[in-house]
Amino acid sequence: MRLEENIRRVTPYVPGEQPQQKVIKLNTNENPYPPAPGVERALKEMDDGRLRLYPDPEIRMLTESLAEYCQVKPEQIFVGVGSDDVLSMSFLTFFNSGKPILFPDITYSFYKVWAELYRIPYECCPLDENMHLRKEDYCKENGGIIFPNPNAPTGIYESLDVIEEILKQNPDVIVIVDEAYIDFAGKPSAISLIDRYDNLLVTQTFSKSRSMAGMRIGFAAGNERLIRWLQDVKYSFNSYTMSYPAIVCGTEAVKDTEYFRKTTEKIVATREWSKEKLADLGFEFPDSSTNFIFAKHPKYDGEKLFQALKERQIYVRHWKQPEIAQYLRITVGTDEEMNQFFDTLEEIMKE
């Protein structure tokens, strides 16, 4: 018997590059501003003697803060090590019927990786000509549904009416709405629906709007049964998933709503003038409700633009997937970073 026959082989997710040298980094949708001041203060004042002890397995302090912020009960919140951890555990917990799960063909590429890793059958549903979900595609028999809202990498937000229609058509399977970018949308979160739909799970992250990608904090909100089932699976892997520093710093980040509001508003303002600038340069893009813009130019090759920017120490994201190979996903940085990006882009386009 060959060794390879017993190995679970998957095509892994390819993360955005993390260059070590000084560059303008607009490729992984990180927040260009620091975390809330209370996070820095908590790190400086942290009792390092606590590090010899296991952290609270129930993550009560952070869970209670999130429940208050989301206006739900603590029993409706599940916290994990980044929303990727929460989503991976959700795939393992909820998608076990043997029927294919459904997600968009242009979306967060980790969904396909988890499905293959856990041997979950799946079908990719094409977006419409305007890159919106075609809700009728999610009305057929399936083993579960997942999609981001706003979608990544398109940046498009779907209304709660669309989400409710999908939920109503699928009462017997779990529908997961991945809201990694919801805080930049200025539009309602699907968390407002969890008390009306027992089959809805909504996930969010601290990596984008709360400037804490390095801490790895994410959470899910849903009815109490769904959360209990997630907890059961979590405790079957590792009771102590969240570190003590992450619990303390995450709690401080949730508390400072004013700082959160101000930094999010700054990013949205920069996004809006960046859209205008891209349009002036002839780029085409769906209307973004996120901290990035997904843009292509009818006269310039996407991969060549990507490489030319990279050579000049400006990193954006590009995929070879045929449907989107002409697009660049451009993270919204500070005003200074975006001005330098546009100066460089204009130089490239003049060559």
Q: List, in order of start, the domains of the chain with CATH numbers.
A: 3-34+258-350 (3.90.1150.10), 37-256 (3.40.640.10)
Sign (positive/negative) of CA torsion 235, 209, 180, 313? negative
Q: Evaluate whether 86 touches 219 at the Cβ level (below 8 Å).
A: yes
In DSSP notation, 78-104 reads EEESSHHHHHHHHHHHH--SSSPEEEE
Tens of pLDDT, residue by residue over 233-257, are 999 988 878 999 999 999 999 999 9
Name the pTM for this structure. 0.94
Reported as a single tens digit per residue, the pLDDT across 197-230 is 999 999 999 999 999 999 999 999 999 999 999 9
Distance, CA of 42 to CA of 166 (rounded, Å): 42
The C-alpha atoms of residue 74 and residue 86 are separated, in whole angstroms, by 16
How many whole angstroms separate alpha carbon 198 and alpha carbon 220?
A: 14
**pLDDT over 80 (residue 16):** no
Q: Is the peptide bond before 153 cis (omega within 30 degrees of 0)?
A: yes
Task: Determine the length of the chain.
Answer: 351
Q: Looking at per-residue confidence, does 60 or 240 come out higher?
A: 60
Task: Give pLDDT, residue 2.
Answer: 66
- Residue range 78-114, pLDDT digits in tens: 999 999 999 999 999 999 999 999 999 999 999 999 9
The whole-angstrom separation of Cα 185 and Cα 162 is 16
Q: Are 160 and 192 a contacting pair, CB within 8 Å?
A: yes
